[in-house]
Amino acid sequence: MKQNFENKIDTQKEQLKFFENPEFEKRVEKFYSDAFPYHNFGHAKESMNDGRIIVANCRKEGISIDDKVVYYADFLHDAGWHENHKEKGFSCKEEYSAHLAGEILKKFGEDEETISRVQSAIWATHRDRQFVTNEEKAVRAADLAGIAKDYETFLTNAVKLKLETEMLSGQNITWKEWQSRVKKIVEFYLNQDIKLTSAHDDENGESVWHKKVRENLEKFLREDDKAVKQAA
């Protein structure tokens, strides 16, 4: 069964009020490290912005979605990513981020139901996790939105992730090997489908996200190792 990601960006600004908590954002930034090229606070902010696009599209079509849950989960989905989750007793980074989310949101006075929904949305960013609620779908889609943006963004992020993987493993990865890894990862997500609104499809009924991701991947696989220096 295919699973898809909504990506079409509606450039018309809606008169919508989104939930925000500036004090929370200042606190959360401390749970990220700039030492990591990709999984840093910048990625969290970008995910939040992409999440708002999805929320706006849902609201325009009368689809129920809790923007506070999406907001918190987008900002927290990689919190503590730079830490060793196994040493702290957690099975994966998503579980650790969900744990941190609970601790942080309690300090901001959020109720148990909201915290639980945020944690479920964070878990939904795990590669093999199911995404059922609209909030879970929105957060997973926002996390993956970057691979369906312009090719320069796709390439830059791929290079950042290569550098990050080398940092964590302590081993160099050849460009060919990295292309192979990226191909495998991206093709996994291409076999999934998250559809929330009509913005998911183009005028021909095709998934905008899938179309752009395939285009980016094909171009990426033709790159030589000079791309690393150009995009770094």
Q: For residue 179, what are the domain limits?
A: 146-231
**Lowest-pLDDT range, 134-143, 156-165, 219-228?**
219-228
My answer on whether 90 and 156 are in the same domain is: no
My answer on whether 120 and 150 are in the same domain is: no
- For residue 44, give both structure tokens: 């969290």
Q: Is residue 79 part of a domain?
A: yes
Q: Is residue 224 part of a domain?
A: yes
CATH of the domain at 132: 1.10.3210.10
My answer on whether 94 and 66 are in the same domain is: yes
Average the pLDDT over 185-200 and give the result.
95
From residue 21, alpha-carbon distances to 72, 123, 136 in Å are: 9, 22, 20
Q: Is residue 160 part of a domain?
A: yes
Helix (H, G, I), strand (E, B) or coil at 66: coil
Predicted TM-score (pTM) of this structure: 0.91
Number of domains forming the structure of the chain: 2
pLDDT at 225 (0 to 100):
78
> In which band, very low, low, confident or very high, does the pLDDT at 226 lie, cut at 50, 70 and 90?
confident
My answer on whether 30 and 125 are in the same domain is: yes
My answer on whether 35 and 134 are in the same domain is: yes
> In which band, very low, low, confident or very high, does the pLDDT at 230 lie, cut at 50, 70 and 90?
low
